[in-house]
Structure 1
Amino acid sequence: MNANTMNISRRGLIGSLGALAGTALMPRMAFASAAAEARFPVVTRMVDGYVSSGKLPGMIATLGQGIGTSALDIARGTLARGNPSPVDMDSLFRIYSMTKPVTGMAAMMLVDDGKLRLDQPLADLIPAFGKMQAQATPDGSITDLRPAKTQITIRHLLTHTAGLGYSIIQQGPIKDAYIKAGVVPGQASRMALPGLEKFTPLKSLAEFAEVLATLPLVYEPGTTWSYSVGLDLMGRVIEIASGMAFDQFLKTRLFDPLGMASTGFRVPEAQAPRLTTNYAVAGGMLLPIDPAKTSVYLDQPAYPFGGAGLVSSPRDYDRFLAMVLGYGSFGGRQVMSEAAVRLGTSNLLPVGTDLSRSFIKGNGFGAGGSVGLGEDAGTYGWAGAAGTVGFVSFRAGLRAGLYTQYMPSEAYPVHREFAQAVLADVTQKKAAA
């Protein structure tokens, strides 16, 4: 649920490490790893700066190099202002669009199982998408429509090229239609927030899919990269192809094998003390919009949002990144096949995709995440709407994650600064070797 992503840094050393789009006397409240600080001094200064300046109450970076290694962490601050509990590897964060790579890899498992095909028409699984209408003018009239010339495919859903809309991206009548229909697969607060209009959620992924099929496409399928609800719809596709509820599939095939016990679409009340508070940055102030004690994530969501719904811990998400970096291997077990990971982290964009209006210019896109191209090849990852980001660099044998909670994510250049800091530290280390 984030309109920022990873703009690729042209540094051949490690390929593309994407930049996605208290008081000074505050004590260090978390148990930072001395080894991590020594190895990643630029990242350490960045994390220090955001917390010691009072811009954010807490932040933690996780960095792991090599397959089978534990991540190092650099943590500062607390779960919330006024809360003495330090941020650590087991704190809980709303990862929003970092859910998309998880859903993408789940889909790749089913491709590997032979239950889905990348270029399979979506209508094979959900017939309602067989005869779609597209806007004559993107974000224009929703009555001036034309029949779509191309069928939506699984590839399109994974790569935001299905022509579907997104209420956080579209403007005008199509945005209003999405909100009115309840096709808003995400949540941020119990409060009404500017830009996050109140809506009546649909009751299930099945209903979400059927209602979505009645709305016009913004673009002709396969022609244009446009951030969309494609990965949310993929949740329903996974249910149909696997015969399992989407959230149960993730738990059975990914979370349990990876030991991701703290990751899910709802925070159990007993775990609320580990949950961070999410803030809005407004006028230089931090305003709590989703306090941990009363968080909307303590409730069961209407259905699992495959594009933006997960809450996770730095430790858990690092396990997911470690599995991807290990080409499907984790803890001596092949959680998913090497072929599936290689395919999912490759450029899956349809040939000729128009990127001129996208925020991934110069990049490719894989299964739910941005990928580097050419001399920048070797990275895969994505960012979240509340300041989180996670990626892997296959060239450097590196995985990296950053976790904090504020909205909108563009209020601070955290995504870009983190990628630049990691790049600087890895570059300096290689130069000194």
Structure 2
Amino acid sequence: MPPAPSNPVADLLAHQVAARHCPGALALVEQAGQVLAREAAGHVRPDGATAMHAGVRFRIASLTKPVVTVAALMLVDEGRLALDAPLGEYLPALRDLRLPGGAAPQRAPTVRDLMRHTSGLAYPFEIADAALRETWLGAGISAAMSGFTPASFQACVAGLPLVAEPGRAFRYGYATDVLGCIVEALDGVPLGQALQRRLFTPLGMAHTGFELQPGEAADLAEAHPEDAAWHATIPPIGRRTPGAPWIDSGGGGLISTLDDYAAFARLLADGGVAGGGRLLSEALMAEMFRNQLPTGVDGPAAYCGPGYGFGLGLAIRLDWGPAAMPSSAGEGAWSGISGPALFVQPRQRWFALMMGANMSSRMLCRLAFRREAGRL
């Protein structure tokens, strides 16, 4: 009997596990509701015998950002949020953001700037100027947003200088955390509750939230011990200390599962429609998947290779230029520093999602995953 045909996604996951890039991983590729590949490899944790399975929870880090962006766009659909309004209209604490030296920017950052990362609110590793970088590092904002409430986070940001003129540079950073504060302010509830009502309940995302629940730790994916950067950054995400300050981090705080996040990816692939109902308008779906960066503004090449601009919440493959991955114009992509990666092409109702715990070789893994998913 001839051997079963090779599945390139399964082969890739097996390689990643054998090479000790991650203890285990899950992947799902779909087109128009048809499963092209659904694969699992390895184990949940490096020190355990439990095989990777669909119930495993992952700290998805920056894959939180597209979710929060969609929730904010739903507020735009409702007429309660304007893309080109200054963010200070919704968060008064941020009405007077300044450049280094105290000068006022030529214009205030807008909601659109938050969604496309042109607001001037950057992660320290995005800041080239050493003195300015040290100023932002000194604010003590961690990946888990430990020690902050929404109010104290806004006060902290208000005291930091913008790293660029709004609209003039792509500088990835805390913008989506600020966007999450806007969603909270307009919906009048913590961000997790707003997402629950707007997205998690309609999409059946029963295992997604900002806080790890009792009994879930056994099925929480972990990286190899030698992945030191992962262990220095990721484990505090989702762990609330009773009595300590807490913020639902819109920039990277969600914990989710493969199938839960696939429900969100399917919403994007299906053009904003889920369960026969429309959650996001066609017009805003088009905005989300359109390159929003002005001419001459650099893009997210450090995160997905060349050939990409940025839409609203996702990198968007341009219709020109070389790319590090075999993608088509208009395809959206983003990933998390903790290991997961998403690719979605609404024109083909296609998406590919990989979940794993891997920081040290995450760029290589996500590029290879997109290549193999495209071979199915």
Give the TM-score of the pair, scaled to structure 1.
Answer: 0.76
Deviations 1:310-357 (A, max 9, x none): 1110111100000111112222333333333222222222x3352078
User: Residue 154 of structure 1 aligns to which amino acid in structure 2?
Assistant: V
Partner of 2:12: 46
1:164 and 2:121 matched: yes
- CA drift at 1:120: 0.7
Instruction: List gaps (5 residues or longer) in structure 1.
Output: 1-36, 136-143, 188-199, 427-433
Match 1:289 to one of 231, 240, 253: 231
Q: Is contact 1:95–1:308 with CA below 8 Å preserved after alignment? A: yes
Partner of 2:333: 381
- Partners of 2:95 and 2:237 lie apart in 1 by 36
- CA drift at 1:169: 2.8
User: Residue 122 of structure 1 aligns to which amino acid in structure 2?
Assistant: L
Q: Is contact 1:387–1:406 with CA below 8 Å preserved after alignment? A: yes
Partner of 2:138: 180
- Partners of 1:177 and 1:406 lie apart in 2 by 29
Deviations 1:395-433 (A, max 9, x none): 3321111111022345x610111111112x14xxxxxxx
Q: Is contact 2:208–2:255 with CA below 8 Å preserved after alignment? A: yes
1:421 and 2:372 matched: yes
Partner of 2:200: 255
Deviations 1:58-107 (A, max 9, x none): 1111111114x467411111101231211122211111111111111111
- Partners of 2:21 and 2:284 lie apart in 1 by 40
1:2-17 → structure 2 map (5 Å cutoff)? none
Partner of 1:193: none
1:405 and 2:375 matched: no
- CA drift at 1:280: 5.4
Match 2:275 to one of 331, 335, 338: 331
Q: Which moved more, 1:395-404 or 1:115-124?
A: 395-404
- Partners of 1:228 and 1:280 lie apart in 2 by 27
- Partners of 1:348 and 1:206 lie apart in 2 by 29
Deviations 1:27-65 (A, max 9, x none): xxxxxxxxxx96x82212111111234442111111111
Q: Is contact 2:58–2:356 with CA below 8 Å preserved after alignment? A: yes
Partner of 1:354: 297
Partner of 1:90: 55
Distance 1:296 1:131, change over 3 A: closer
Distance 1:338 1:288, change over 3 A: closer
- Partners of 2:84 and 2:52 lie apart in 1 by 43
Match 1:61 to one of 21, 27, 33: 27
Name the structure, 1 or 2, with higher relative contact order (CA <8 Å, separation 6+): 1
- Partners of 2:37 and 2:8 lie apart in 1 by 14
Distance 1:155 1:387, change over 3 A: same
Instruction: List gaps (5 residues or longer) in structure 2.
Output: 321-327
1:219-298 → structure 2 map (5 Å cutoff)? 219-279=164-224, 281=226, 289=231, 297-298=238-239
Q: Which moved more, 1:235-244 or 1:165-174?
A: 165-174
- Partners of 1:212 and 1:295 lie apart in 2 by 21
Say which SS state the counterpart of residue 179 (structure 2) adopts.
helix
User: Residue 399 of structure 1 aligns to which amino acid in structure 2?
Assistant: F
- Partners of 1:169 and 1:366 lie apart in 2 by 19
Q: Is contact 2:299–2:309 with CA below 8 Å preserved after alignment? A: no
Partner of 1:203: 148
Say which SS state the counterpart of residue 103 (structure 2) adopts.
strand
- Partners of 2:229 and 2:308 lie apart in 1 by 35
Match 2:265 to one of 317, 321, 324: 321
Partner of 1:127: 92
Distance 1:331 1:265, change over 3 A: same
Say which SS state the counterpart of residue 147 (structure 1) adopts.
coil
- CA drift at 1:174: 2.8
User: Residue 273 of structure 1 aligns to which amino acid in structure 2?
Assistant: A
- CA drift at 1:258: 0.6
- CA drift at 1:306: 0.6
Q: Is contact 1:96–1:384 with CA below 8 Å preserved after alignment? A: yes
User: Residue 157 of structure 1 aligns to which amino acid in structure 2?
Assistant: L
- Partners of 1:276 and 1:238 lie apart in 2 by 29
1:151 and 2:87 matched: no
Relative to its length, the structure with more strand (as a share) is: 1
- Partners of 1:59 and 1:91 lie apart in 2 by 10
Distance 1:118 1:247, change over 3 A: same
- Partners of 1:369 and 1:297 lie apart in 2 by 23
Say which SS state the counterpart of residue 270 (structure 1) adopts.
coil
Partner of 2:323: none
- Partners of 1:392 and 1:322 lie apart in 2 by 8
1:395 and 2:347 matched: yes
Name the % identity.
Answer: 29
Distance 1:356 1:318, change over 3 A: closer
- Partners of 1:145 and 1:357 lie apart in 2 by 28
- Partners of 2:212 and 2:231 lie apart in 1 by 17
Deviations 1:337-382 (A, max 9, x none): 3333222222222x33520785365322122111122263231120
